[in-house]
Structure 1
Amino acid sequence: MSIPEKLSGRVLTVPNLISFARLAGVPLFLYLFLVAEQVGWAVAVLVIGGTSDWIDGYLARRLGQVSRLGELLDPLADRLYILATLLAFTVREVVPWQFTAALLAREATLLIALGVLRRHGQGPPPVHYLGKTATFILLFAFPVLLLAWGTSGVTNAVAYAAGWGLAWWGLGLYWLAGLLYLKQVRDFVALSRVASA
């Protein structure tokens, strides 16, 4: 591991501040979409949240500010954005419940796998690049789907096709990344059993 990539215990870093801002964006999006019914501003919050997902990781490596807190905050913000957006979209019928169920089933599967790892005294394995790619695609798909829901005519048609193309692609990669994660868990458990035999 190179020097810039070593984990530090720092809290107030630029990437961590971006992650905190992303976390604050979750309730802001829910308010704008479900309460204030400001679809345009809700789309903007989703776009900023999705874009900043890439920016905080890039800055952490670029500035040598990779931290343990950052490693925890980034996936937490991703999951909260995805879960909050999905639930809000399902309530307002932007996406069908089956799509939401498919994503939630993947999350539930990984939570069970994480419990298995913790029973063996381990935390979660490093985030796989495929999982990051799937998350980025989903976070990009959500504002496009919301744009389709809130518009009509040509904008609706283009956004609808693009949004669902990205959403299904992201869902497929999300599950594929989940299967790779489960393989990592299985391999670790097998090695643990051999070591303790």
Structure 2
Amino acid sequence: MQGESAVVSSRVWTIPNMLSFLRLALVPVFLWLVIVGEDGFALLVLVFSSVTDFLDGFLARRLHQVSRLGQLLDPAADRLYIFAALIGLCWREVIPWWLFVVIVARDVMLAVLGVILANNGFGPLPVHHLGKVATFCLFWALPLLMLGEAFAPLEPFSLPLGWAFALWGAFLYWWAGILYIRETARVIRLPADDTGPRSDTLDGKEVDGA
């Protein structure tokens, strides 16, 4: 992931961003592989995506190419892979659709909060550590479920572990969502600064997205 302590630029065509674009381009391929049941190849795409995810963050810091676009593409790619895996596994009835609804509903809620913040002169809230842990759990849960589908001998081990990660991740996802609701309510009650527009800092830190 992109470094947060480095100087953030507005550049688009950087090596890290090209890796992020490649990750995004592979999302439809990954979705198709999951839907048709080619879980082994889907897992290979997911491993490749994880490697490029690490590389884009490493290169961004090493080459001083941290960019605002990269900071947006990185979490967006993570979410799209999660959604693709959810859709594919739900389509095959490996997991129930309610799990997909629970996870997507939380992101829809965050989008609504983003609109509310924008209307009050603020940018997106900083990502809460609980949200990061929840994404980590979901990012491991779905490959574990796919692993059980792809390799029958591993099913007794990977499926229970995958479901444990999935349920815990969904719970933390909404716990973090509730914290975002509380923080949004607190932020929009802040008084306007002396110049009129809302302040774009919270507790001494810039309001920034993932």
TM-score, normalised to structure 1's length? 0.85
TM-superposed CA distance for 1:193, in Å, is: 6.9
TM-superposed CA distance for 1:146, in Å, is: 0.8
1:25 to 2:26 alignment:
yes
In structure 1, C-alpha distance between the alignment counterparts of 2:91 and 2:55, rounded to whole Å? 30
Q: Identify the structure with the greater helix proportion.
A: 1
Moved more, 91-100 or 122-131: 122-131
- In structure 2, the partner of 1:88 is 88
Checking the alignment, whether the CA contact within 8 Å between 2:23 and 2:49 is kept in structure 1 is yes
Checking the alignment, whether the CA contact within 8 Å between 1:10 and 1:69 is kept in structure 2 is yes
Checking the alignment, whether the CA contact within 8 Å between 2:39 and 2:149 is kept in structure 1 is no
1:172 to 2:168 alignment:
no
In structure 2, C-alpha distance between the alignment counterparts of 1:158 and 1:3, rounded to whole Å? 37
Q: How many equivalent residue pairs?
A: 193
Give the RMSD, CA atoms, in angstroms.
2.5
Checking the alignment, whether the CA contact within 8 Å between 2:86 and 2:100 is kept in structure 1 is yes
User: What amino acid is the match of 1:41?
Assistant: F
The percentage of counterpart residues that share the same residue type is 45
Checking the alignment, whether the CA contact within 8 Å between 1:4 and 1:63 is kept in structure 2 is no
TM-score, normalised to structure 2's length? 0.80
In structure 1, C-alpha distance between the alignment counterparts of 2:90 and 2:191, rounded to whole Å? 41
Checking the alignment, whether the CA contact within 8 Å between 2:34 and 2:89 is kept in structure 1 is no
User: What amino acid is the match of 1:134?
Assistant: A
TM-superposed CA distance for 1:133, in Å, is: 2.5
Checking the alignment, whether the CA contact within 8 Å between 1:138 and 1:171 is kept in structure 2 is yes
The 1:131/1:68 distance shift into structure 2, 3 A limit, reads: same
User: What amino acid is the match of 1:114?
Assistant: G
- In structure 2, the partner of 1:186 is 185
In structure 2, C-alpha distance between the alignment counterparts of 1:72 and 1:48, rounded to whole Å? 20
Give structure 1 stretches of 5+ with no counterpart. Answer: none
